Structure 1
């Protein structure tokens, strides 16, 4: 990977120093787990936040949106800041600010203060994840990266799964404030570990001096363009359905801003000598394909994490806690499979692991298309177990493959871009799912209502049967018929919702299948990690 000498443990001293690299992996994975957890922990607590702060559900949803937007915009700047001021210093600063902002979120006195603290929390968290990944990439040689990323992957993939469970439990049994306050002690503990275990690197100090000697400055114009593009894109994707898309002046304005920033950013990052992101990386077969597959992975990971608890609470009457618990066993399978996948990276080409993982996930999405009102808890547990088998195969292989063939000075940017791909993919997945759900629910309802006509024998028989049922319960005949019609209307609504969710999972299945051909065009890599090139 690097021309630097390695320690006896096989780590690059630029990142590991005298510390065992596995201790570094554990420490940065703990902090990363806490940060990624906050992408989903608030989702199931929104109705509690809405009630506690006396705001509408739509206003409360900005708690999630602001975090995603601020998190995405800082990602592109993290690589330069880490190199300019030092990874350790930058990482510690991000961790401290994230912890303080989390506590302030838990102590927020109104929605405005909560949103401000969430923005600060998102900025700090956005700098932590790619820096963690870059530290691992430089601390381990290519032959051991798969195993190191397995531990890191537990944090990135399991945290969104644990988020709804933990958030639901805390909200149901304590208060929504604890969804944020819980980060306080964990953050302090992680800060202490990082401070004492992650050493200052002489190699990184030389890099900083080289940047200063060459007079390389922060690409402010590039950052503003890329951050504006990502921020506007996140706003459009996250708020589009709520704001009724292009019937909203806000969505039209954000779309125009997104397109303009993108159009200006492309020539800038391709022609500037030291751009905020290396746009040429996306044009390579290896990294470009990895970027797209990571977007698809993020779409499935975040979309299923949102829609499964949602359907369980809305259509099966589960509490937030039990909806989260349906996902938890899949988290344990994911955890075990991370380390299995980490070992497989030494003997199986990443492209075959990605293809296999995508096929398994596509199968799990097909399983979820069997939705019906009579399903039990075990059905949803098994659906998540199947996802837990496939995701690690993709995540570990794509993370390992995306770094292969890169120069050491490209690892920070690659890490930031891969994490941005996961975040953007997650927003796109949720956006697609919400639109499919809304439009297909309306479409199915229209088709079902077409059969509810007086001349329909099935409708007539059902109306008579339910009228007699309600009359036997003590209702007058007029009231019984009204209740029967209301019951039929409710059944139509319920069935149209089930059919719409089935369509959502069909779409996610197609997204998973689309990753297979992309995976198969990846280059074969040197599994022993000696060369650092592709063949």
Structure 2
């Protein structure tokens, strides 16, 4: 049983305590994997949910939106909550709330009940990712962080791709209720393991006691701005294309609300002694630049994860399960490369070099996808997905390690909360972008192709309705290619900002950054 215990003393803020830190990492990772999986697993079940609860497909999308809105509101304040309530206690509260509300989702008998349950589920799930990342950063020295973030990378990259496959199988073979009910055993196991084995370091206990003894000033105004700003932003992004963009009064009102709220939040929190969102983190150069890069990674990853299933199901005739399998090969390749990226980052290859190479490779892969033929095979789709995602481990792990360079250990919780929120916002904006541009580019190509069809053009035995359908199909396919091209350009053009990043300590040397180095802007 010696593998249970650490071979050397734990770091002051370690979540492992006397136990083997790698064993604790595996336990901690269960909870965020469950939560990230849930962000995509319900997507393929919406049609079944709508039919079961007797609501329209449009109304059923609130099942997704309600979760994302509540998730986005809790995520940025997780660092503050952990400091006030205690990191381990908050983690257990989040797991319990997420698991209980998942069961409530499964037994919902109306759309209202399901939406309320999803709001609670989002509140519980929002804290899991930043707390996990904070624990990982505190449990391992700087030179070991690349390896531990390889584990976290599996959670963030593989779970969204696995969700549609698992959701499709559960929905087809059991019922949509199991999409939520599957969280019960995972949540119970995670809660039990963390309650028993995860340590709450004495230094965190002392910091919390000192904060509470100093007559903590609760930032109610900041909390209201967070809820209003990020909530309105998420609804704005989710409903933008459905509600006719800025042609909708509702969308324009949401735009004003989230813009004013978030600008006010930044000004208010900068001067507040106990901010719920520590915007002063952006003083650290590495952290600020890492947030930009993480935004781009979220933008590309989530938008392409949305595009490929749509392309394969609407234009190629794949079932939801077959569409999920088209993504699965890329997920397997990513899992296989995660440990490799963790080992080579900083040890054999500079983190900045890996980031530049990863962005360039991703850009080239997306450019290649923009030349797909309308009769593309399942094999080609799967291979192109592999080419697109094989660089993700070499993006996510280096940026996760670099983002903490110069950040004081006591601020790791704030850093992880903000950078996770930035990645989520990037993903939401990416999905909104591709949904909106898909409609715009389809109209553009449809008009061009239709203009070329005149009474003098031979229809080759096809009826006019058949020609109309063919024109629509071709226009839609070309719009997908346009989006792959534009996303490739984003990846290829962003890399110069990486040159501004400061480097972390190299693996194996056992040294952190030079004393006093903060890399402030």
TM tier, shorter chain?
Answer: over 0.9
Q: C-alpha separation between the residues in 1 aligned to 2:236 and 2:493?
A: 24
Quick check: 1:337–1:388 contact (8 Å CA) kept in 2?
Answer: no
Where does residue 122 of structure 2 map in the other structure? 122
Deviation at 1:529, TM superposition (A): 5.4
Q: C-alpha separation between the residues in 2 aligned to 1:280 and 1:359?
A: 31
Q: C-alpha separation between the residues in 1 aligned to 2:249 and 2:124?
A: 31
C-alpha spacing 1:329/1:105, structure 2 compared with 1 (3 Å):
same
Q: C-alpha separation between the residues in 2 aligned to 1:366 and 1:178?
A: 38
Question: Superposition RMSD on alpha carbons, in Å?
Answer: 1.6
Higher mean displacement: 437-446 or 263-272: 263-272
Q: TM-score, normalised by structure 1?
A: 0.92
SS at match of 1:327: helix
Quick check: 2:16–2:197 contact (8 Å CA) kept in 1?
Answer: no
Where does residue 426 of structure 2 map in the other structure? 425
C-alpha spacing 1:227/1:282, structure 2 compared with 1 (3 Å):
farther
Where does residue 221 of structure 2 map in the other structure? 221
Deviation at 1:511, TM superposition (A): 2.0
Quick check: 1:91–1:128 contact (8 Å CA) kept in 2?
Answer: yes
Q: Deviations over 1:478-523 (max 9, x none)?
A: xxxxxx1111001000000000101111121122123311222212
Deviation at 1:277, TM superposition (A): 2.1
Q: Deviations over 1:117-171 (max 9, x none)?
A: 1110001000111011111111111111111111111111110010111111112
Q: Deviations over 1:432-489 (max 9, x none)?
A: 111110100001001111011113xxx2x22xx325xxxxxxxxxxxxxxxx111100
Where does residue 464 of structure 2 map in the other structure? 485
Q: C-alpha separation between the residues in 1 aligned to 2:307 and 2:226?
A: 30
SS at match of 2:127: helix
Where does residue 368 of structure 1 map in the other structure? 369
Higher mean displacement: 190-199 or 312-321: 190-199
Deviation at 1:308, TM superposition (A): 0.6
Task: Show structure 1 runs of 5+ residues with no match.
Answer: 1-5, 468-483
Where does residue 477 of structure 1 map in the other structure? none
Q: C-alpha separation between the residues in 2 aligned to 1:288 and 1:514?
A: 18
Where does residue 473 of structure 2 map in the other structure? 494
Where does residue 489 of structure 2 map in the other structure? 510
Which protein shows a greater Rg? Answer: 1
Aligned length: 508
SS at match of 1:316: coil
Quick check: 2:359–2:491 contact (8 Å CA) kept in 1?
Answer: yes
Q: C-alpha separation between the residues in 2 aligned to 1:443 and 1:343?
A: 47
Is residue 3 of structure 2 the alignment partner of residue 8 of structure 1? Answer: no
Is residue 147 of structure 2 the alignment partner of residue 147 of structure 1? Answer: yes
Q: Deviations over 1:389-412 (max 9, x none)?
A: 111111111111001111011100
Q: C-alpha separation between the residues in 2 aligned to 1:466 and 1:55?
A: 42
SS at match of 1:243: coil
SS at match of 1:16: coil
Q: C-alpha separation between the residues in 1 aligned to 2:502 and 2:227?
A: 31
SS at match of 1:153: helix
Deviation at 1:7, TM superposition (A): 7.3
Q: C-alpha separation between the residues in 2 aligned to 1:265 and 1:339?
A: 39
Q: C-alpha separation between the residues in 2 aligned to 1:322 and 1:11?
A: 46
Quick check: 1:172–1:320 contact (8 Å CA) kept in 2?
Answer: no
What are the equivalent positions in structure 2 for 1:99-138 lying under 5 Å apart?
A: 99-138=99-138
Where does residue 163 of structure 1 map in the other structure? 163
SS at match of 1:403: coil
Q: C-alpha separation between the residues in 2 aligned to 1:284 and 1:510?
A: 28
Q: C-alpha separation between the residues in 2 aligned to 1:242 and 1:501?
A: 18
What are the equivalent positions in structure 2 for 1:456-467 lying under 5 Å apart?
A: 459=457, 461-462=458-459, 465-467=460-462
Deviation at 1:283, TM superposition (A): 4.2
Where does residue 304 of structure 2 map in the other structure? 304
Q: C-alpha separation between the residues in 2 aligned to 1:529 and 1:320?
A: 48
Q: C-alpha separation between the residues in 2 aligned to 1:271 and 1:30?
A: 37
Where does residue 93 of structure 1 map in the other structure? 93
Where does residue 276 of structure 2 map in the other structure? 276
Where does residue 411 of structure 2 map in the other structure? 410
Q: C-alpha separation between the residues in 2 aligned to 1:106 and 1:386?
A: 37
Q: C-alpha separation between the residues in 1 aligned to 2:401 and 2:88?
A: 23
Where does residue 530 of structure 1 map in the other structure? 511
Where does residue 234 of structure 2 map in the other structure? 234
Q: TM-score, normalised by structure 2?
A: 0.94
SS at match of 1:39: helix
Deviation at 1:333, TM superposition (A): 1.1
Where does residue 174 of structure 1 map in the other structure? 174
Where does residue 387 of structure 2 map in the other structure? 386
Deviation at 1:259, TM superposition (A): 1.4
Q: C-alpha separation between the residues in 2 aligned to 1:158 and 1:430?
A: 18
Q: C-alpha separation between the residues in 2 aligned to 1:72 and 1:104?
A: 21
Higher mean displacement: 62-71 or 221-230: 221-230
Q: C-alpha separation between the residues in 1 aligned to 2:216 and 2:120?
A: 27
